[in-house]
Amino acid sequence: MALTWSVLAAFLLLLINLVEVPAYNMVNVEAGHEAVLSCPSVSKASLLMVIWKTKCSTCCLLSYRSDHNQTMKLNCSERMTWKYSPDSDPDLRIYPVSLGDEGHYTCEIISSEGNFLFFSFLTVIVPPTVTLTFDKSTGAVCQASAGKPAADISWIPPNNASTSEVHHPNGTVTRVSWVNTTLSTVTCLVTHPATNQSLFLDLQSLWLHKLAERSAAPVATTNFRSTPSRVKMEAVKPPVLSEHIYQNYSSRTVYMNY
């Protein structure tokens, strides 16, 4: 029995030495930017093979074999490459990043020192398109379209705003907030990991413009014929009040969190 336990202990110790405890890395990157997924590096002398796998075994496979100095790429997008040389720095580079790249990635290092696993989860964020409009039935309407994750919307001064959101098939979310107010001005604040925006709307100017259109007096036009005894009066219709849309979009890089 003592011999059996000693053999089992030796076997477990061998497994611990050969397969290190996997590490985990969270990476957040804005769509259209560059993502770099890290993999632990080992000395060139001990390196045998590097293997990158995406979230499923039948998807992307990127590998390097040191004894043949050979790389292999299977079912991988051209946007996925080695960041540098795989024998010195086996990081994975994805550029430009798209929503379809989001998910789990596994890097495996096989060396004479043992096998090492490193897991990464790539999150792709998308800045929303932000607009602030005025609608005569609902009031001021602030909309953050197709963002990932959904943007947060608040108002200055604070109001009892109504909100709604639409989830799109690609994972983005459109969030809308609207408020009916008697204040002369409102400011919409949109908070998102990729962009923070502040949009201002002068409601007083809109109301004055609308009031001026309604109170515009008809303009008489005269249509002379051979004898100016018959006069035709025509009222000039005011133009339809159009929505005032303010858009201020400026994306910025969101740095990766390791």
pLDDT of residue 208: 63
pLDDT of residue 10: 43
Q: Which residues, in sequence order, are CB contacts of 2 under 8 Å at separation 6+?
A: none
Low-confidence ranges of the chain (pLDDT < 50): 1-21, 220-258
Alpha carbons 3 and 11: distance in angstroms, whole number: 12
Alpha carbons 59 and 161: distance in angstroms, whole number: 45
pLDDT of residue 238: 31
pLDDT of residue 218: 57
Residue spans in the chain of domains classed CATH 2.60.40.10: 19-125, 129-246
> Is residue 77 a contact partner of residue 69, using CB atoms and an 8 Å limit?
no
Q: Dump pLDDT digits (tens) for 135-177.
A: 888 889 999 999 999 999 999 988 889 999 999 999 999 999 9
pLDDT of residue 135: 84
pLDDT of residue 154: 95
- Give the architecture (CATH level 2) of 19-125: Sandwich (2.60)
- Is CATH 3.30.1330.60 the right assignment for the domain spanning 129-246? no
